[in-house]
Amino acid sequence: MNTIEARICRILDDHASELAAFANDIYAHAELGYTEHRTAQRVADWLEHLCGLHPETGLAVTGVRAQVGTARPAVCLIGELDGIRCPEHPLAVPETGMSHACGHHMQLAALAGAALALSDPEIAAELGGSAVFFAVPCEEHVPMNRMAQLQQDGVADYCGGKPQLLMDRAFDGIDVAVTTHAHMVHCDSDFLLGSNSTSGFLSKLIRIKGRASHTAISPEKGINALDVVTLARSAIGMLRSTFRDEDCIRIGEVVRMRSTAVNVVPDEVIVDLQVRAKTWDALLETDKKIDRAYRGAAYAFGADVEITDGMGYLPTVPCLPCEALTQAASLLADADGNTFESVSPLVHNAASTDVGDLSHRMPVVNFTFSGFSGTLHGADFRITNEKAAYVQPAKLAALTIYRLLRDNAAQARALTDRFQPTMTAEQYRAYAARFDSGFVGEPSPF
């Protein structure tokens, strides 16, 4: 560890209690995606008052961005602002049920700590590019009903913060993204370096319209929308035998209907559905099967069906750790005894993240970290070790960015030179634009 690296670690050790207080305050005040105003204000205050930076605010509603230096390449550390609804979590906000059971407050500690260290004048002078700190809104996907409302109100057009920021060109001028999260797959080490593949998904809103009638007096005049759903779900159940194991296909559904008398044939049912798969091709193929199942079932009963596709997230392009990240983790292993391992290309994460969208456009340097117990999104999620959860991820992020940007940013340049985007900016815009007016233009009737 050289003197600059030792200084990074010292600054973070010296500010461990401030970082924990910052993170715990956010932990106890979780906010829904695109409404993270309080959280964004805390981040902006930290960047301004403790780091002496000049944060831009209000990016994609609540995003906050500040930077050390203006030169290229620009390496951007990302922290996610939003919580997840989990009313059973002990720190959930009573009025909203919002919690930080996905640990995004831990990422904000990493961002705040890394900004504090890298904005130190002695350290900043060693960076051969700029270090950008970007707290981004709404990683948790916005369901289609809420998205329709957000579009109508002119708040946001896209179902996740990173797609919105990509479409707003807020990542233009960023050359490398550094992302981090609480461990998302099982890992016994303090750090897991690199990106696993994650599944992509599409949202669907399926509206079945039948005909109400008295179930005893005139059942022959009714068209039972719930029976259509039952038949379609049976077909999808049988279609599962055509899914290939390696495609990791998952289908999640919620069925909603108007509360009605038991002796009235249900005339309208809405199904919210998410279909996930490891590859985009498998996703589209499965999506067609789902459409056929619902259209076929509606035909059998003479019901009407409207299927609206909504944006989800793209599969994450998997990536082994870069040299700078591995070197930084080795330094922390020597200095603080932290353990680390690299992602296995054999492990696939069947969940989804909007980092997937970013991974098609720029090199993503990712690591996940420990310091918690319980399940992500679960009521049992707990911080068990504040140093591991808040301080060490900040050190790893800062050391990695320093390694990427030192020596005239040689390692950052090597990453950008090697990177082959799987989608051009135009291709991404065309993909996202398909969903611009795809949402149902009215709030749900129930």
Is residue 389 within the footprint of Zn ion (CB under 5 A)? no
Least CB distance to Zn ion at residue 162 (A): 12
Single-letter amino acid, residue 177: A
Q: Which is nearer to Zn ion, 203 or 411 (CB)?
A: 203
Least CB distance to Zn ion at residue 366 (A): 12
Least CB distance to Zn ion at residue 108 (A): 12
Cβ pair 263, 283 in contact under 8 A: no
Is residue 12 within the footprint of Zn ion (CB under 5 A)? no
Q: Which is nearer to Zn ion, 102 or 290 (CB)?
A: 102
Q: Which is nearer to Zn ion, 44 or 102 (CB)?
A: 102
Cβ pair 395, 111 in contact under 8 A: no
Least CB distance to Zn ion at residue 83 (A): 9
* CA gap 409, 176 in Å, rounded: 11
Q: Which is nearer to Zn ion, 225 or 364 (CB)?
A: 364
Least CB distance to Zn ion at residue 262 (A): 38
Is residue 110 within the footprint of Zn ion (CB under 5 A)? no
Diameter over CA atoms, the chain: 86
Q: Which is nearer to Zn ion, 84 or 298 (CB)?
A: 84
Q: Which is nearer to Zn ion, 120 or 354 (CB)?
A: 354
CA dist list (Å): 375 to 103, 308, 349, 372: 10, 32, 14, 9
* CA gap 257, 207 in Å, rounded: 10
Q: Which is nearer to Zn ion, 53 or 192 (CB)?
A: 192
Is residue 135 within the footprint of Zn ion (CB under 5 A)? no
Least CB distance to Zn ion at residue 159 (A): 14
Q: Residue count at the site for Zn ion (CB under 5 A)?
A: 1
Q: Look at residues 276, 297, 286 and name the one whose alpha carbon lies nearest to residue 234.
A: 297
Q: Which is nearer to Zn ion, 67 or 352 (CB)?
A: 352
> Quick one: which segment of 86-94, 101-109, 278-286, 293-301 binds Zn ion (CB under 5 A)?
101-109
Give the CB-nearest residue to Zn ion.
Answer: 102
Least CB distance to Zn ion at residue 181 (A): 6
Q: Which is nearer to Zn ion, 80 or 190 (CB)?
A: 80
Whether the upstream peptide bond of residue 73 has omega within 30° of 0, thus cis, is yes
Mask 56-95, x = binds Zn ion (CB under 5 A)? ----------------------------------------
Is residue 102 within the footprint of Zn ion (CB under 5 A)? yes
Least CB distance to Zn ion at residue 4 (A): 31
> Quick one: which segment of 97-105, 236-244, 297-305, 307-315 binds Zn ion (CB under 5 A)?
97-105
> Quick one: which segment of 12-20, 63-71, 96-104, 292-300 binds Zn ion (CB under 5 A)?
96-104
CA dihedral over 234, 236, 239, 240, signed as positive or negative: negative
Single-letter amino acid, residue 79: G
Least CB distance to Zn ion at residue 140 (A): 5
Least CB distance to Zn ion at residue 63 (A): 16
Least CB distance to Zn ion at residue 126 (A): 32
Within 13 Å of residue 146, how many CA atoms lie on the same side as its CB?
12
Q: Which is nearer to Zn ion, 162 or 278 (CB)?
A: 162
Q: Which is nearer to Zn ion, 301 or 369 (CB)?
A: 369
Binding residues for Zn ion, rule: CB under 5 A, are 102
